[in-house]
Amino acid sequence: MAAWLSSELARRAARRIAGELRRRGPGPWFPSSSTVPVLGPTAGYHRGFCSVRRFAGDTAAATATAEDSDNEFAAGELQQVVDFPGGKLSFVGEMNFVPESQRERIKCYRVLDDDGGIIYSSRFQEVSKELALKMYSSMVTLQIMDTIFYEAQRQGRISFYLTSNGEEAINIASAAALSADDIVLPQYREPGVLLWRGFTLQEFANQLFGNKMDYGKGRQMPIHYGSNRLNYFTVSSPIATQLPQAVGAAYSLKMDKKDACAITYFGDGGTSEGDFHAALNFAAVTEAPVIFFCRNNGWAISTPTTEQFRSDGIVTRGQAYGIRSIRVDGNDTLAVYSAVHAAREMAITEGRPILIEAMTYRVGHHSTSDDSTKYRLADEIEHWRTARDPVSRYRKWVQGNSWWCDAEETELRNSVRQEILQAIQVAERIPKHGLAELFTDVYDQVPSNLREQQRSLLDTINKHPSDYPTDVPV
Amino acid sequence: MAAASSLHVAAPAATPRVGSVAHKSASSAARSVRVARSGAVARSGGRLVACAAVATKADAPATDAASKSEGHEVLLFEALREGLMEEMEADPTVCVFGEDVGHYGGSYKVTKGLADKYGDLRVLDTPIAENSFTGMGVGAGMKGLRPVVEGMNMGFLLLAYNQISNNCGMLHYTSGGQFKIPLVIRGPGGVGRQLGAEHSQRLESYFQSIPGLQMVACSTPYNAKGLMKAAIRSENPVVLFEHVLLYNLKEKIPDEEYVCCLEEAEMVRPGEHVTILTYSRMRYHVMQAAKTLVNKGYDPEVIDIRSLKPFDLHTIGNSIKKTHRVLIVEECMRTGGIGASLRSAIIDNFWDYLDAPIMCLSSQDVPTPYAATLEDATVVQPAQIVAAVEQICQ
């Protein structure tokens, strides 16, 4: 009897499910009871966020009713209210599992099409010719800077480098939408923001060579730039540690009631770190004026986003923390500019965090220590490097406005190239710091134990000069 | 060493000083503050009496208190609060982050009343994410605030280790001095009464290697307030270790303002036969053992090292040069604790003055058990201290 019942239930369930499919299209499936097998795939089919799937009890009657009913919101819902810590909730008599993903992925904000034309329906923040050209030439400068510094590493002149190839629009356009008072906490693939703010090519080169003129005094790896003057926090290698720090910086701005926000950048991989979760949570709870800017470039070294998370990217997570979020085409200069402009406005006037997910592609290898052809197709890289290049796409728009021409392009590229090569030569020749700077800045003043260590070191060098390089000042 | 009357006191050249107590942000005017000198204790005029193991009141103030006024009695947690409140009053950039520090007043009531007085913005209740509110403190510090980050229990700050080591300790150095992080990280630690292994951590072991950090441990209401104030004023990140069992210690502290020196050790009981170096709760076990030792005819010199990083080798060295025998009594575990480092530093610097091997009494290398008898056996007890001194002084 029991066996018959359960197979009868199975048949009825199958009919019901088939009926549903015909009527409503695919959706996530839920087990109607432990005796009825779960049927149908769950992946690839999405219902709306508030979809209601009936939980059919394991009686035949219940199954029959479920089969016949048209109305999603059936009589099972009483629309009564219950209160718990956190507020009042309506309750329903049926189990409704929120689907693991929405039917459609969250749409991407875009202004320019691939040919550099404005998409007809798009609304965006207008830019003046001057601003547009400054953005363009900065993007070109960043592109060339990356190429030449990368080559310099390959030639053994610097020990390490990583490029922002493919993310020039993100770098420059986001920086352009900020004010000089906004505090930037970068991950490491945002030198363009520093470039925009006025860091010179020479200053970049000095940091890469760790020479005496480096503001970091030669203490950090290449690309770990920092400038207090330009409100760009010194890059620190561990992933996502800057996120809660950004909340702290924003909090400080809020306490001072400044007309400024904090912005922090991170990649798709960084969102897996615990600091991402807690920073977003904190920012929402403390109502801190911070922009969380995620560069979703598809790869965390060799880990593609499909192995990084199962959510619809990063933008969906914002709501989980109570944060307003947007997804933008990260290779679209005008879209990035507009989004950051709007986000900044909201962050400051409303005192709230904003999450921006910029979709893009990491054209270069992760760094000079990586060869990405080992884990992705060369064709794919080439496609993004050429057909989807944000710089040429934006150039088409700028030239379309008759604001730029080929002659100016050639001239710009040549002069930037010369300037960078010159900067490298100069930086290479500037001496490095002496050993005296090994022990300073650990604390505000050099304590006795470090002075002791310094004395001991000098003593050893003096006793065995042949064991130490002669060109390093003490 | 007379007590200085001005804040800008010139430090004796030999005393190691990392940060300058005299440093002040531009916003506050110089105030007349006495900087407590541990050396002055011997000349305070009163004879120091040993304190009980977990004292409820001190028989005499542990430090120079040539007060012009009566002084007032406080419990240690109140002394911490007084120090914090005075600094918050004087400097609007001082703020507090931590779990339940606001309206709840902190799990040990150190921040009680502060949220009412200074508002939610300056006394911030954070969600449970130690790495994140410490990171938040780093970011705020880099931007010009002076956050005081409270770990509900120091053990939880293991979750903040990444931010503390990789950022807090490093960023001043790696930024070439551009960004400073004047953070204070504080909270209760140490072995309590049957709190279980996870709530009985001694983080000074783990943090002592981190370059860029300073560490101090308070042990009396007097030094708790003084160290709290000094830590807040320091431009460097300072970890202030409090002990769960010492919060209710009572002592009379001066009414007028004072600050302790972060890098200085405290002379608790001068003596001739052996130098006993200790800190935090173990100070009280040592003083209890000292009573027994005195009865047996020994004259131990007890120093509360207070500054765990860097060590006050000046005070310690002077003592060793006098007694030639050293016993270290600590609550850290035997392996890799403060005692291990201190022993090493003493050997490096004062080898020639030692007449006996340095003895170090530490906790057992076990997770702290819950059962009271087992817990007592993991930490150093006065009887062991007495036996050790007898052995050293043979």
Chain A residues whose beta carbon lies within 8 Å of the beta carbon of residue B126:
282, 285-286
- At A35, is the pLDDT very low, low, confident or very high (cuts 50, 70, 90)? very low
Residues of A in contact with B147 (CB under 8 A): 248
Q: Which of the pair, B374 or A283, is modelled with greater confidence?
A: A283
> Scanning every residue of chain B, which has its alpha carbon at the shortest distance from the alpha carbon of A246?
B139
**Between chains, do B139 and A247 touch, taking CB under 8 Å as contact?**
yes
Q: What is the pLDDT of residues B201-210, one digit of tens each?
A: 999 999 999 9
- For helices A129-154 and A201-209, the axis angle rounded to 10 degrees is 30
Q: Which residue of A has its CA nearest to B118?
A: A255
Say yes or no to pLDDT of B236 above 50: yes
As to burial, measured by CB atoms within 10 angstroms (0-12 exposed, 13-18 middle, 19+ buried), residue B282 is: buried
Q: Which residues of B touch A249 (CB under 8 A)?
A: 139-140, 142-143
Residue A237 is a catalytic residue: yes
pLDDT of res. A17 = 53
Nearest chain A CA: its distance from B347 CA (Å):
14
Q: Is A151 a known active-site residue?
A: yes
Element of type H or E holding A275: helix A274-286
* Interface residue B91 vs chain A (CB under 8 A): no
B365 CB-contact burial (10 Å; exposed 0-12 / middle 13-18 / buried 19+): exposed
Summarised one tens digit per residue, pLDDT across range A340-397 is 999 999 999 999 999 999 999 999 999 999 999 999 999 999 999 999 999 999 999 9
Q: Residue B362 and residue B341: Cα distance in Å, rounded? A: 12
Chain A residues with CB under 8 Å of B139 CB are 185, 233, 242, 244-252, 262
Contact residues, chain B, for A238 at CB < 8 Å: 162, 166-167
Q: Out of A450-459, B53-62, B106-115, B205-214, which region has the weakest mean confidence (pLDDT)?
A: B53-62
CA distances for A209 relative to A311, A370, A426, A442, A453, angstroms: 41, 20, 10, 21, 26
Q: Where are the beta strands (DSSP E) in A223-329?
A: 262-267, 290-296, 299-300, 303-304, 324-329
- pLDDT higher at B55 or A70: A70
Interface of B with A in 194-223 (CB under 8 A): 211-212, 214
Question: Does the pLDDT at position A28 exceed 60?
Answer: no
What's the token pair of residue A176? 């352009």
| Inter-chain CB proximity A224 and B174 less than 8 Å | yes
Work out the pLDDT band at B48, boundaries 50, 70, 90: very low
B168 residue type, one letter: C
Q: Do B20 and A279 count as a contact with CB atoms less than 8 A apart?
A: no
User: In whole angstroms, what is the distance from residue A245 CA to residue B132 CA?
Assistant: 8
- Cβ of B172 under 8 Å from any chain A Cβ? yes
Q: For chain B, what is the mean pLDDT? A: 85
- Mean pLDDT of the region A34-41: 38
Q: Of A367, A372, A419, A433, which residue is the catalytic one?
A: A367
| The token pair that represents B361 in the structure block | 């009494």
The shortest C-alpha distance from A85 to chain B (Å) reads 16
- What pLDDT shows up at residue B104? 85
Chain A and chain B share a number of CB contacts under 8 A equal to 176
The encoded tokens of residue B310 equal: 């860097």
Burial code of A241-260, b = ≥16 C-beta within 10 A, e = fewer? bbbbbbbbbbbbbbbeebeb
Q: What is the per-residue pLDDT for A6?
A: 53
Instruction: Express each pLDDT in A126-136 by its tens digit.
Output: 999 999 999 99
Determine, for residues B137 and A241 on separate chains, whether the beta-carbon distance falls below 8 Å. Answer: no
| pLDDT tens figures, A412-433 | 999 999 999 999 999 999 998 8
CA–CA dist A278, A462 (Å, integer)? 51
SS3 B253: strand
| A272 class by beta-carbon count within 10 Å (0-12 exposed, 13-18 middle, 19+ buried) | middle
A364 in Cβ contact with A162 (< 8 Å):
yes
Sorted by where each begins, the domain ranges of chain A are: 2-90, 129-429, 441-467
C-beta atoms of A447 and B175 within 8 A: no
**Closest alpha carbon within chain A to B210:** A442
Which is the catalytic residue, given A94, A100, A151, A382? A151
- For the question of residue A367 being annotated catalytic, the response is yes
CB < 8 Å to B138, chain A: 244-245, 248
Amino acid at A58: D
Taking each continuous run of H as one helix and of E as one strand, the counts in chain A are: 15, 9
Q: Which residue has the tokens 């006394």?
A: B123
Q: pLDDT tens digits, residue range A215-269?
A: 999 999 999 999 999 999 999 999 999 999 999 999 999 999 999 999 999 999 9
> DSSP secondary structure string, A308-374?
H-SSSTTHHHHHHHT-EEEEEETT-HHHHHHHHHHHHHHHHHHT--EEEEEE----S-SSTT--GGG
Is A238 in Cβ contact with B18 (below 8 Å)? no
Nearest to B136 among A217, A227, A251 (CB): A251
Q: Note the pLDDT tens digit of each residue in B287-333.
A: 999 999 999 999 999 999 999 999 999 999 999 999 999 999 999 99
- Selected residue of B118, B136, B235, B314 to mutate for chain A interface (largest A Cβ count, 10 A): B136
Identify the band that residue A12 occupies on the pLDDT scale cut at 50, 70 and 90.
low
Q: Angle at CA B201, nearest 5°, toward B262 and B259?
A: 15
Q: Which residues of B touch A255 (CB under 8 A)?
A: 95, 121-122, 145
Which residues in chain B are closer than 8 Å to A441, comparing Cβ atoms? 172-173, 176-177
Range picked from A11-15, A47-51, B107-111 for highest mean pLDDT? B107-111
Nearest-Cα distance to chain B for A269, in Å, is: 18
- Distance from the Cα of B231 to chain A's closest Cα (Å) equals 13
Q: Do A281 and B127 touch (CB under 8 A)?
A: yes
Could B173 and A219 be called an inter-chain contact, meaning their C-beta atoms sit closer than 8 Å? yes
Chain B residues touching residue A455 (CB < 8 angstroms): none
Q: Residue for token digits 């760094």?
A: A367
Residue B202 corresponds to which amino acid?
Answer: R
CATH architecture of A129-429: 3-Layer(aba) Sandwich (3.40)
Distance CA A110, CA A128 (A): 19
**Which value does ipTM take for this structure?**
0.71
**Please, how many CA atoms are within 13 Å of residue B338, restricted to the half-sphere of its CB?**
28
- Give the rounded distance of the alpha carbon of A407 from its chain centre: 35
Cα B257 from Cα A342, distance rounded (Å)? 50
Strand partners, A265: A293
Q: Name the phi and psi angles at B243, rounded to 5.
A: -120, 135
pLDDT in tens, A151-185: 999 999 999 999 999 999 999 999 999 999 999 99
Q: Assess whether pLDDT exceeds 70 at residue A67.
A: no
Task: Identify whether the C-beta of residue A298 lies closer than 8 Å to the C-beta of residue A268.
Answer: yes
- Tokens 């007592």 correspond to B376
Q: Hey, which bits of A93-195 come out as E strands?
A: 183-185
Do residues A168 and A391 lie in contact, with contact meaning Cβ atoms separated by under 8 Å? yes
Cβ separation B211–A253 shorter than 8 A: no
Residue of B nearest to A261 (CA): B143
What is the reported pLDDT for B60? 42
Mutation pick from B18, B95, B143 vs chain A, by most beta carbons of A within 10 Å, is B143
Strand order in the sheet with B359-363: B266-269, B300-304, B274-278, B326-333, B359-363
- Token pair 């010194």: residue: A234
Tell me which residue of B173, B174, B169, B177 sits closest to B137, measured CA to CA. B169
Task: Give the confidence band of B84 by pLDDT, cuts at 50, 70, 90.
Answer: very high
Catalytic residue among A32, A366, A372, A433: A366
Contact in structure between A404 and A395 (CB atoms under 8 Å): yes
Residue with tokens 């060339």: A144
Is B140 an 8 Å CB contact of chain A? yes
d(CA A232, CA A305) in angstroms, rounded, equals 28
Give the Cα separation of B55 and B48 in Å (integer): 15
The reported pLDDT for the residue numbered A10 is 53
Q: Do A254 and B138 touch (CB under 8 A)?
A: no
pLDDT at A24 over 60: no
Catalytic hit among B199, B243, B273, B285: B199
Count Cβ neighbours within 10 Å for each residue of A11-31 and write b for 16 or more, e otherwise. ebbeebbeebeeeeeebbeee
Q: Give residue B68's pLDDT.
A: 57
Residues of A in contact with B12 (CB under 8 A): none
Place of tokens 């190691």: B16
Rounded CA separation A268/A424 (Å): 32
CA distance A434 to B173: 15
Q: DSSP character for A20?
A: H
B36 has a pLDDT exceeding 50: no
Q: What is the predicted pLDDT for the residue at B18? A: 47
C-alpha closest to that of A280 among A322, A250, A316, A236: A322
Q: What is the pLDDT of residue A16?
A: 57
Q: Is B132 on the interface with A (CB under 8 A)?
A: yes
Q: Do A275 and B133 touch (CB under 8 A)?
A: no
For residue B108, the number of C-alpha atoms closer than 13 Å in the C-beta half-sphere is 24
Nearest alpha carbon to residue B139 among A220, A184, A346: A184
Choose the closest CB to B131 out of A252, A278, A440: A278
CA angle A329, A332, A338 (to 5 degrees): 85
Cite the DSSP H helix spans in A70-126. none
* Sheet strands (E) in A149-192: 183-185
Residue A41 has pLDDT above 60, yes or no: no
